[in-house]
Structure 1
Amino acid sequence: MIRHLVLFKLNEGVERDDPRVVAGVQAFEKLGGEIPELRFWECGWNVSERPIAYDYAINSAVEDPDALQRYLDHPAHQAGVGLWREFATWVIADYPF
Structure 2
Amino acid sequence: MIRHLVLFKLNEGVERDDPRVVEGVAAFGTLGDQIPELRFWECGWNVTDRPIAYDFAITSAVDDAAALKRYLEHPAHVAGVKPWAEFATWVIADYEF
CA distance in 1, matches of 2:41, 2:11: 24
TM-score (normalizing by structure 1) = 0.99
Question: Could you say which residue in structure 1 is the equivalent of 2:6?
Answer: 6
Indicate the RMSD between aligned Cα atoms, in angstroms: 0.3
Q: Percent identity?
A: 79
Please give the secondary structure, in 2, of the residue aligned with 1:95.
strand
Alignment gaps of 5+ in structure 2:
none
CA distance in 1, matches of 2:78, 2:85: 10
1:80 lines up with 2:80 in the alignment: yes
The Cα shift of 1:57 comes to 0.1
CA distance in 2, matches of 1:82, 1:3: 21
Kindly tell me the number of residue pairs found equivalent between the two proteins: 97
1:50 lines up with 2:39 in the alignment: no
Alignment gaps of 5+ in structure 1:
none
Structure 1 stretches of at least 4 aligned residues deviating more than 2 Å after TM superposition: none
TM-score (normalizing by structure 2) = 0.99
The Cα shift of 1:24 comes to 0.2
